[in-house]
Structure 1
Amino acid sequence: MQRSKAIAMDGALATAISFGPARMGFGLFLPQFKNAFNISTQQAGLIASSGFAGFFAALLLSGILVSRCGPRYAVVVGAFAAMIGMFMISVSQSPMFLTAGVVVASASAGFCWSPFNNAAQRGVEERYQGRTLSIISTGTTGGIALAGLMAFCVASTEHGWRAAWLVFSITALIAIVISTLALARLPSEPSTNYSHHDASLKRLLHHTAWPLYGIALSFGITNSIYLSFAVNQVDQAGGLSGLATSLSGPVLYMSFGAAGLFGLATAELHQRLGMPTLVAGIFLASMLSLVLIGITPASWPGMLASSALQGMCVMMLSAIFSFWSARLFPALATVSLTAVLVVFALGNILGPVLAGLFQGGMDMTGVFLVAGGLSLATAVVFPLAYRVMFNSQPR
């Protein structure tokens, strides 16, 4: 029980840092970065995509690290990446150095996500594993909300964004120490039949996984556009009424993070509604979120509803990625989750680049509406594809 608490708390801290400021912080501070480095929207899209590419590469490397060295090394490497990358951002003097810092910091999320599935499997009693993973997942929402709170506190100072990133970096240093201690001396994994394991790996390409990969790619594209440009959209619209423009983005992130706690109800909603209805509902919420931030970015109700819906979608789909991949491939729970996250990361890379390209022919409102159209199409197509793929049998 003591070990499960240590793993849960360490996991919550690691995901809070890696998915809060390290992976999502660029979009939060984009207005300040644009002013400090004279960055265009197209350049911002390329920087954001570069960061998501770092996340993608780290996902692949984390699988190798976990299989050879165990989850502890992958998580510690991720915390180091967060610390170094966020420190680089805090002292950056050019767009190129800023980009390098964003890439290194974003990589931390790839190193810190799936290894905790392995750590829980090895170091937590089976009856506590679900609770432990739920606590770990809440770290994401907490990290996003706290990053928004930090940005809110330093928004009025000239170089406040540098101080914020320095504080984020110091927090990552604390996570390194905690991870080193909490994940020490985990029990060994049970022996594996590698011939069976290799054969099972081919199942990751089985047609029954295509609907899962499809929603991962779709949401990867739209969510990365939201994370990269939503704050800038609010800023360009003049901010929220009665509030300094520089404070509007932090409010968006705090709402985003707090609403993500609704993701804890995903498993119960799945039991009540079934996968087709639940996923369709999530993508309709994603569509509404994107449309609202596109057309009413300076409205308090519109912005708060948009950010809350997007935060809820992130956490619900994260839960679905985890338990659906484990259900499809029970012998490859960690590897199958990594496969889904790789597809999600590909969408993350594509989204900001496409947004930057489209923005040349339309404004960002149009980009958000197009992204909303993709979510709507996914909501319509997924239930049909799911029922055809599984012959109308519940899965």
Structure 2
Amino acid sequence: MSRTIDPGGLLDASARWRLTAAGVCLIAACYGMARFAYGMFVPVFREEFGLDSTTSGAIASGSFLSYCVAIVAASLLTPRFGARIVAVAAGAVAVLGTLVIAAAPNVTVLAIGVLVAGSSTGIASPPLAHAVARTVIERDRSRTQTVVNAGTGIGVAVAGPIALLAQDHWRLAWVAFAVTCALVTAWAAASVPAARGASDDASFLPVPLLPVGSGRLILAAAAAGLASAAVWTLGREVLVTDGGLGETRSLVAWIILGCFGVVGAAAGDLIRRLGLRGAWLATMLAMAGGTALLGSFPDLLGVAWFAAAAFGASYIAVSGVLLLWGTEVYPEDPAAGVGLAFLVLALGQAGGSLLVGALAEAGAQFAFLTAAAVAVAGTLVRPRA
């Protein structure tokens, strides 16, 4: 296993890079392929399985539910069983889910595969955040956390072109996703340290369920979830229906969103320059701007693609800020802090999806501007000084 530079378990430079690279790839595989790729293949699934909008939406909601259950379980299990075991479990679940989707003979099996694959994302984030917090030297910790978190953008950027090119051979695409997830899982098994509780053994001190500062974290994560729901829920639909961009150009917008999501890796450096409060303000305002632009000018290709880029970069950065915020609120149990932040973020997105769906009846632009306003309001909730 990885060498360390002191008895406390801090990794040397080479081991840190291996952990970072493996973490980025695991997040990319679980989020970009196992979870978010479903939305890219919905048009094909509708044709293959006769899905209607209600059924496809119910499957997506089930994926959200499995994510919430998984992230709670991973947050509780990581300090006891160690980061490596839980991270490998995330990859294994992603492999299983993507293989079930690839082999699905009917809509019921497809739904099961999507639920299993979607749960891998909830399992993946807490152990990686815990491993970084326990084994990376303090000066590199924030940057490493946000770089790993930006793996989501890489996954979406890779899955997008595959979805674009493999529409008629979608089963092969999902087999390719499964093989990729398997390779990444093996890498995680070799590169992620055990990193259990504070003393690296199974007996760790319990932490308060809601310590000081957790209330602000919950409100902030809920606001981010509500604000981001418009783009995640209606973004492609608005580009196709209101903007008239078609399936291909709207999917390209999603690829751009994923590519620029990698910029969100700079959230750690942004926090070092502006502090947690300043970074939260900047990234939420940027997300508000991208959301407002996408909803207001979906018919202008250049503006729409720029808005997708701005949203992708800012959303990943926002989630990176929430990740670091969670580890600060729960310094003794980083997995719990990340789990709480990302759970509330997902719950906010679920509630936001219902809200923007209802508001869209009065016009998509109104729904998107409302979401942007929520992001601006969310800047009023800031980390403790």
Q: TM-score range by the shorter chain?
A: 0.7 to 0.9
Per-residue CA deviation, residues 73-117 of structure 1 (Å, 9 max, x unaligned), is 211111111112112222334333222211111111111112012
Displacement of 1:373 in angstroms is: 0.9
Residue 376 in structure 1 maps to residue 373 in structure 2: yes
- The amino acid of 1:55's aligned partner reads Y
Retained in 2: the 8 A contact 1:5–1:132? no
Q: Find the aligned partners of 1:124 and 1:43 in 2 and give their Cα distance.
A: 44
Displacement of 1:17 in angstroms is: 0.4
Among 7, 18, 25, the residue aligned to 2:30: 18
Aligned to 1:253: 254
Among 198, 204, 208, the residue aligned to 1:201: 208
Residue 211 in structure 1 maps to residue 212 in structure 2: no
Retained in 2: the 8 A contact 1:45–1:355? no
* Alpha-carbon distance change, 89 to 269 in structure 1, aligned in 2, over 3 angstroms: same
Displacement of 1:317 in angstroms is: 1.1
Q: Which moved more, 1:124-133 or 1:302-311?
A: 124-133
* Alpha-carbon distance change, 238 to 121 in structure 1, aligned in 2, over 3 angstroms: closer
Q: Find the aligned partners of 2:240 and 2:345 in 1 and give their Cα distance.
A: 28
Per-residue CA deviation, residues 188-218 of structure 1 (Å, 9 max, x unaligned), is 65438999943x41443x4x33332122112
Q: Find the aligned partners of 1:277 and 1:122 in 2 and give their Cα distance.
A: 26
* Alpha-carbon distance change, 298 to 89 in structure 1, aligned in 2, over 3 angstroms: farther
Among 226, 232, 235, the residue aligned to 2:237: 232
Displacement of 1:277 in angstroms is: 5.3
Within 5 Å, which residues of 2 pair with 1:82-231? 82-126=94-138, 128-155=140-167, 159-183=168-192, 186=194, 189-191=197-199, 197-198=205-206, 200-204=207-211, 206=212, 208-231=213-236
Q: Which moved more, 1:68-77 or 1:133-142?
A: 133-142
| Structural RMSD (CA) | 3.1
Aligned to 2:8: none
* Alpha-carbon distance change, 164 to 222 in structure 1, aligned in 2, over 3 angstroms: farther
Displacement of 1:41 in angstroms is: 3.3
User: Quick one: percent identity of the two aligned structures?
Assistant: 23
Retained in 1: the 8 A contact 2:79–2:204? no
Q: Find the aligned partners of 1:193 and 1:69 in 2 and give their Cα distance.
A: 9
- The amino acid of 1:102's aligned partner reads V
Runs of at least 5 residues in structure 2 that lack an aligned partner in the other structure: 1-12
Q: Find the aligned partners of 1:20 and 1:174 in 2 and give their Cα distance.
A: 15
Q: Find the aligned partners of 1:47 and 1:127 in 2 and give their Cα distance.
A: 42
Q: Find the aligned partners of 1:81 and 1:369 in 2 and give their Cα distance.
A: 39
Aligned to 2:10: none
Per-residue CA deviation, residues 267-295 of structure 1 (Å, 9 max, x unaligned), is 44445555555434433333333333334
* Alpha-carbon distance change, 196 to 4 in structure 1, aligned in 2, over 3 angstroms: closer
Q: Find the aligned partners of 1:324 and 1:180 in 2 and give their Cα distance.
A: 27
Retained in 1: the 8 A contact 2:83–2:195? no
Aligned residue pair count: 373
* Alpha-carbon distance change, 193 to 69 in structure 1, aligned in 2, over 3 angstroms: closer
- The amino acid of 1:174's aligned partner reads L
Displacement of 1:171 in angstroms is: 0.7
Q: Find the aligned partners of 2:307 and 2:51 in 1 and give their Cα distance.
A: 26
Q: Find the aligned partners of 1:24 and 1:232 in 2 and give their Cα distance.
A: 15
Retained in 2: the 8 A contact 1:50–1:103? yes
* Alpha-carbon distance change, 306 to 34 in structure 1, aligned in 2, over 3 angstroms: farther
